[in-house]
Copies of this chain bind each other. A is one copy, B any other.
Amino acid sequence: MTPAFTGPALITLTETTMTLPSTKTPTDWKRFIRPEIRAMKGYVPGEQPQGGPVLKLNTNENPYPPSPKVLEAIREAASGDRIRKYPDPMGNAFRSAAAGALGVKPEMILCGNGSDDILTILARTFVPEGGIISSPYPSYLLYQTLADIQGGKFQPFPYEGNGWELPRQWNAPVPHLTLVANPNSPSGTYIPAADIAQFVEMLKGPVVVDEAYADFAPGNAISLTLDARPAVAPVVISRTLSKSYALAGIRFGFAIADEAIIDEMTKVKDSYNCDAVSLAAATAAMKDQEYLQSITKKIIATREQSFQTLQKLGFQVISSHANFLWCEHPAHDATKLYQGLREKNILVRLMNYPGWKRGLRISIGTDAEMDQLFDRLGQLL
């Protein structure tokens, strides 16, 4: 009962076949892979040892558990009917909760499977093959990977001055997308929204403010999607629940932007990019702002204490507005310190940005965890 085909856009198949050079072995299969992907090394995330007595201070996880309300929401979501059905494609319950907490409209929010998903969607929405992704340097290494996968160019530019500031002049081509991590990783430095607005006005291209660590900072750039939005180009805010909300395991992030931008990003995302359990967990987390404040305060206090301790140990430390500290020791090689910590099952992130001295990025744990770190560092110095 196949009806006669009358659609217009089909390939017509005839009696002749195309001749292609034959391939003999599967090793030749790589020729089918896009050359940009073949040439890539791929982003290497921080080590995630599964189990074992490891003190993880390497991927900026939260040392405190998530809100008890989040764990309750996950257990509640474990019902047959919730799990067997597709989730809400747009995650409207989360959008309402986040809009309420952050003072924006629900339509200005897009849910993502981690902020990596949001950044991927942004790259695919704004950057054509051969397009330019730009970012201050040094920053989140993933930005280059996003450019690589899009078949685009990655053009980093240096932070200016001693204060990790954005450039005040721009004579390069306007990038298709510029990503500013704020607070920045690995430095932990923070740029006020007014300076970012000035940068956008000068750049005249779309800017993503990656606010993975904003809850540990004195402010954020949400106003640049509202009343203070630049006229020349859109600002998109990217957020994650992995750090301040202690939810790295559930993979949840979101974007805040003008509705028109969210509509375009929605076309690019996978239809059901967030699952029913994560949506329930993220919604519960967003509604419990009191818990967020309580653990964030503790982490900031430990950060300030740790900054002083590291200085006393002779480290050069950058004042941080995130949940980590970047440090170097003038007399001790960072690689050796990293290895010395690792021997005692303490993981920190060893970072080696070309053009920079190697340094350690240390996530803020509990006070007791930091004491364990400092004890070991004391032995190594």
Contacts and interface: CB of A to CB of B under 8 A. Distances in A.
A340 interface: no
Interface in A13-56: 13-18, 20, 22-27, 29-30, 32-34, 36-38, 40-43, 45-46, 48, 50, 56
B127 A87 contact: no
20 contacts: A7-B354, A7-B355, A11-B156, A13-B167, A13-B171, A13-B172, A18-B204, A37-B264, A43-B271, A61-B85, A65-B80, A66-B83, A71-B83, A74-B83, A83-B247, A84-B246, A113-B251, A114-B270, A275-B278, A277-B277
Given A2-B159, A164-B2, A272 B116 contact: yes
Contact of A71 (B46, B78, B128): B78
Interface of A: 1-3, 5-18, 20, 22-27, 29-30, 32-34, 36-38, 40-43, 45-46, 48, 50, 56, 59, 61-66, 70-71, 74-75, 77-89, 92, 113-114, 116-117, 120, 124-129, 134, 137, 142, 149, 151, 154-159, 161-162, 164, 167, 169-174, 176, 202, 204-206, 229, 231-234, 242, 246-251, 258, 260-261, 264, 266-268, 270-278, 281, 316, 318, 353-357
A308 B202 CA distance: 69
A134 to B, nearest CB: 7
B157 A13 contact: yes
A66 B267 CA distance: 30
Q: Which of A41, A164, A204 has most chain B Cβ within 10 Å?
A: A204
B250 A275 contact: yes
Contacts of A126: 32-34
Number of copies: 2
A250 B276 contact: yes
A374 to B, nearest CB: 21
Contacts of A82: 249
B83 A65 contact: yes
A159 B267 CA distance: 28
Contacts of A204: 18, 20, 22-23
A80 B281 CA distance: 12
A48 to B, nearest CB: 5
A125 B33 contact: yes
Nearest to A145: B267
A75 B128 CA distance: 43
A34 to B, nearest CB: 5
A142 B249 CA distance: 29
Contact of A134 (B11, B45, B270, B271): B11
